[in-house]
Structure 1
Amino acid sequence: MKTRKLGNTGERLSAIGLGCMPLSKVYGRTDKSESIKLLHEALDLGVNFWDTADMYGKGENEEIISTVLKDNRDKIFIATKFGFRFNDTENTVHSPFNSYFDGSPEWMRQAVELSLKRLKVDVIDLYYAHRVDPNIPIEETVGAMAELVKEGKVRYLGLSEASSESLKRANAIHPIAALQSEYSVLTREVEKDILATARSLNISLVPYSPLARGLFNIINQTRDFQEGDFRKNLPRFQDENLENNIMLAEAWNEFAKTKEISGTQLALAWVLAQGEDIIPIPGTKRSKYLRENIEAVSIELSPEDLQQMDEILIKYPNTGERYPEASLKLVNN
């Protein structure tokens, strides 16, 4: 496994991490024993950067990870997040659409203790604010997070879906090691100014959903998602956006075939090619896709390849928004 440096920390992490969210019931049914087996396989294959959050499965995700983490602590760099809280009346295991965000120091103090307990660790390697709370100054949130570093409960700090301005203000309070934002061939907002700011501050970009939420290997399932798959609620998988994206995926996969790789591998290779300071965290619950993702680390793309990929994207521009309107209010703040 190739490695990449995490921001200004000096840590060397696997060039791709493992997004653990799919191990909870986000994309349909899951099996705990299979999830644990996948985690062991990821570790055996050299994927040492694991990403979770307290909201995934309402904490269950962290508990599943702990079964492997506790006996392999020195081999795994664990990242988790805080901030999303569920409405008490909701019974859904996980959905960003029935939650609210709380970036207050008071909630952070409770959340970090709960995460430490569920993960069964003494310290969290990378602790993110899952979003930037529009009602709380970023200095207040990060200042409180910095206290966790002083106390030895957290090693490094990160932000998720932060704007360029928020990154600057946060980093002035305490060094930010990583910015986690959605970034893929279909989601490129960070290229406007956020990525440049992160680079100027020596902050790594950790793209989540780098595979466009599985579009390139599920095009035949997009009209019939499993019950509980939250992609049903995403504009990109609805109506005319879905039709556009199915055609895009078909053209993308055809080009991938000419390189004897899958469309998913091509999409991940594109993200990796955007810079050595980028460490994507594709999520999966299947061994087949885990191995495919790892193989993408060795794929090299020529300028001509990148041009042809851009031509495909330009041909099918009506991809739709990545989130419903209410959720978009919490990104790039």
Structure 2
Amino acid sequence: MQTRTLGSTGPVVSALGLGAMGMTAGAYGPADRAESIATVHAALDAGVTLIDTSDHYGTGHNEMLVAEALRGRDRDDYLLSVKFGAMVGPGGVFLGQDNRPAAVKDRLAHSLTRLGVDHVDVYRPARLDPEVPIEDTIGAIKEMVDAGYVRHVGLSEVGAETIRRAHAVHPIADLQIEYSLVSRAVEAEVLPVLRELGIGMTAYGVLSRGLISGHWNPDAVRPGDHRAMLPRFSGDNGRHNLALVEAVRRIADGRGCTVAQLAIAWVAAQGPDIVPLAGARTRERLSEALPALDVRLTAEDLAAIEAAVPAGSARGDRYPAAMMASVGVGN
């Protein structure tokens, strides 16, 4: 397994991480617990060391699933990236973000218990809390670093100004943010600031929640799959975006790889400071994602991809309007 370093102060991790969100029900419809655990095992066996979860995925069940999958593994063989602060009510209703210093420590205690570990490798607020200065939140995480419960501090879905303010309190290892062929807003301001400050990026949504995986079929949406409510997947937007996928497919066919592999390879090719997260829920999807690390894109390949899917060519926001208000950058 190839490795990359999260920024100038972060840990060395596998060049491809595993995002666990979809492994519990509530995001993409029903989930198969046994298959999810088998997928984590397969990822670890393949050399994947970075596993990303959050305390609000499945209202805590995702962390418990990850804990079950990691049971018996050497703690030095994997790194846990954990988001916190998103509040969810019964029925999955989003209630906002709580990044108060006391909440930081409370949520961390619950995560450590559910995960069955004595420390988290990277701890990060899931979103910005407009009521709490980022300095206060990062200061509380710093206290947990000093106490040995957290190894590194991360951020998620925040803009350039917030990154600077947070980094002034404690070195930030990485920013977790959506980045893909069809989500490139980070390139204008955020990515340059990350590189100026020596902060890495863990890129989620590299397949745009399956939209550019080459497998998406809008007629196969299952009950509970929130993608049915995302602007990029619906109506004319969805049809337009799937036409972009077909343009990518022609390039992938010429390279002898799948659409998903080409899309992941494109993200990885944007710099050695970027670690793509594969949100694989099954061993089949994981097996497809792993070879993407061996797809070496030439300048000609990158130019062809840019011509097929220029920045800003996707239609529709990546979240509904209410959720877009909570992220630090746009599409």
The answer to whether TM tops 0.5 is yes
Letter in 2 for 1:310: E
The alignment covers a number of residue pairs equal to 327
Q: How far has the Cα of 1:42 moved from its partner? A: 0.5
1:76 alignment partner in structure 2 = 78
Query: Which piece of structure 1 moves more, 222-231 or 192-201?
Result: 222-231
Stretches of structure 1 that go unaligned for 5 or more consecutive residues are none
The 5 A counterparts of 1:281-320 are 281-314=277-310, 317-320=313-316
Task: Return the alpha-carbon distance in structure 1 between the equivalents of residues 43 and 3 of structure 2.
Answer: 15
- State the Cα deviation string for residues 53-101 of structure 1 (Å, max 9, x = none): 00111110100111132422120111111010113xx323xxxx63321
Matched, 1:159 2:167: no
Report the secondary structure of 2:4's partner residue. Answer: strand
Distance, in Å, in 2 between the alignment partners of 1:314 and 1:50 is 31
Q: Which residue of 2 aligns with 1:39?
A: 40
For residue 281 of structure 1, give the secondary structure of its aligned residue in structure 2. strand
Partner Cα distance (2:97, 2:311) in 1: 37
Aligned twin of 2:230? 234
Deviation string 1:94-119 (CA, Å, 9 cap, x unpaired) is xxx63321111122121111100000
TM-score (norm 1): 0.94
The reply on whether 1:111 has 2:107 as its aligned counterpart is: yes
Runs of 4+ in 1 over 4 A off after TM superposition: none
Residue type of the alignment partner of 1:276: P
1:154-189 CA distance string (max 9 Å, x none): 110001011111111101101110100000000011
Code of the residue aligned with 1:195 in structure 2: it is L
Task: Report the AA paired with residue 201 of structure 1.
Answer: L
Deviation, 1:6, is 1.6
Contact 1:6 1:204 in 2 (8 A): yes
Q: Contact between 2:247 and 2:308, CA under 8 Å: does it hold in 1?
A: yes
CA displacement at 1:301 relative to structure 2: 0.6
Structure 1 position 219, deviation (Å) = 5.0
Are the equivalent residues in 2 in contact too, given 1:183–1:207 (CA < 8 A)? Answer: yes
Whether the 8 Å contact between 1:16 and 1:47 is mirrored in structure 2 is: yes
Pairwise CA RMSD of aligned residues? 1.6
Task: Name the counterpart of 1:21.
Answer: 21
The AA in structure 2 aligned to 1:184 is: S
Structure-2-length-normalised TM-score:
0.95
- Tell me if structure 1 keeps the 8 A contact 2:207–2:213: no
- Matched position secondary structure for 1:178: strand
- Distance in 1 of aligned mates of 2:3 and 2:154: 19
Percent identity, aligned pairs only, is 40
8 Å contact kept, 1:247–1:316 = no
1:218-233 pair list within 5 angstroms: 221-233=217-229
Q: Which moved more, 1:150-159 or 1:218-227?
A: 218-227
> Which residue in the other structure is 1:267 paired with?
263
Q: Please identify, of 54-63 and 250-259, the stretch whose mean Cα deviation from structure 2 is larger.
A: 250-259
1:244/1:316 contact within 8 Å kept: no
Report the equivalent of 1:178: 174
- What does residue 55 of structure 2 align with? 54
Distance in 1 (CA, whole Å) between partners of 2:56 and 2:315 is 27
- Partner SS for 2:91: coil
